[in-house]
Chains A and B, each alone.
Chain A
């Protein structure tokens, strides 16, 4: 079953913050976050394993609440390069297939 992402789209000014959420109805082993720019392949940002850990990549961080089966991606002090579509992908076991959410379009304006 596809995880649910929210919001579907967000427009930011450079330097602003945003949060993207990803929820699953099933128990998860891991949550992945990817960013895809127009006409390009998705690029891996980070992986979070069950255990409620938090990770960071530049000024992008994420958390995983195992009890709620929810993950959040935090865009801090957004840069123009952060524009793109963000997808969460969930897996039920290590190395297992990923099921992707519907995506969140992020546009960062100057």
Chain B
């Protein structure tokens, strides 16, 4: 399965600032997903990042707040903009390789604390 390098692993940020999270995959993947996980909660999909086109955002998430880049088939970034304490969470990227029998692989996550 694909191996994902996600950076940073954690950060503490001041409110009003922005943080960019990077995900690098060791193989080419068509679909990349960005999830948010509040402590002790389930995973909520933020957006689907497709190479060569704009990301598709889920209800409740907007591009101005969570801009996403997908310059090629192995890399994506998620920016959390104008942060507030409510943005404190774990952010995970996920990929699925070609083939319907493959599961989704997750990055190790970015633990964000906004103070």
Contacts and interface: CB of A to CB of B under 8 A. Distances in A.
Interface string B85-104: 00000001010101011111
B31 A32 contact: no
B45 A95 contact: no
Interface in B7-56: 30-31, 33, 41-45, 48
A87 B37 CA distance: 12
B89 to A, nearest CB: 14
Interface residues of A, number: 24
Contact of B42 (A40, A47, A103): A103
Interface core residue of B44, B92, B106 (most chain A CB under 10 Å) = B106
A90 B92 CA distance: 18
Interface in B65-115: 92, 94, 96, 98, 100-109
A101 B42 contact: yes
Contacts of A40: 108
B104 A89 contact: yes
Interface core residue of A40, A45, A98 (most chain B CB under 10 Å) = A98
Interface residues of B, number: 24
B104 to A, nearest CB: 6
Interface in A56-110: 87, 89, 94-95, 97-103
A49 B101 CA distance: 8
A6 interface: no
Contacts of B96: 95
Given A44-B104, A47-B103, A2 B42 contact: yes
Contacts of A99: 45
Interface of B: 1, 30-31, 33, 41-45, 48, 92, 94, 96, 98, 100-109
Interface of A: 2, 30, 32, 34, 40-47, 49, 87, 89, 94-95, 97-103
Given A42-B106, A47-B101, 9 more contacts: A41-B108, A43-B106, A44-B1, A45-B103, A47-B102, A47-B103, A49-B100, A49-B101, A100-B44
29 contacts: A30-B100, A32-B103, A32-B104, A40-B108, A41-B92, A41-B106, A41-B108, A41-B109, A43-B106, A44-B104, A44-B105, A46-B103, A47-B101, A47-B102, A49-B100, A49-B101, A87-B42, A89-B43, A95-B31, A95-B96, A97-B31, A97-B33, A97-B48, A98-B94, A98-B104, A99-B45, A100-B43, A100-B44, A103-B41
